[in-house]
Amino acid sequence: MNHVKTFFEELYKNFNERNIDAVVAHTTEDVKWANGMEGGYVYGHSGLKDYWTRQFTLINPKVTPSEVSVDGENAKIKIHQIFHDLNGHLLQDKKLFHHFHMHHNKIDRFEIGDEIAD
């Protein structure tokens, strides 16, 4: 379990540092990733890179994991996300769940879960 927690802490750290290649390296080539900005999904490494490249030109997100639970190949991560616009104005501050499905120690599907009321 500790290695899974470390895996996701590193994943979110790389995301927050905009190290897209390091995050994508932890996904399968045909990854299915929920598009939190426009709805639907993005697919594959190039789709994921394009999505984040576009996202980072519009907003400045920071996502911090606080709890990790694992059931077989599924991981449920409680996160705190804070989004600012590029001028530093707060757009969103909420807690919710992220859901990951793993395949051979790589992420092959990502879903955005329910918001958590404080």
Total structural domains in the chain? Answer: 1
With beta carbons less than 8 A apart as the criterion, state whether 74 and 99 touch. yes
For the segment 31-39, the average pLDDT, to the nearest whole number, is 95
Q: Each residue of 51-108: pLDDT tens digit?
A: 999 999 999 999 999 999 999 899 999 999 999 999 999 999 999 999 999 999 999 9
CA dist., res. 31 & res. 11, Å (int): 15
- What is the 3-state secondary structure of 69-83? EEECCEEEEEEEEEE
User: For residue 79, what are the domain limits?
Assistant: 2-116
Q: Closest Cα to residue 81, out of 98, 64, 66?
A: 64
- 3-class DSSP state of 44: helix
What is the CB-side half-sphere exposure of residue 105 using CA atoms within 13 A? 7
pTM, 2 dp:
0.92
Domain containing residue 27: CATH number = 3.10.450.50
- Looking at residue 39, what DSSP letter applies? S
Q: Which residue has the higher pLDDT, 67 or 3?
A: 67
- 3-class DSSP state of 54: helix
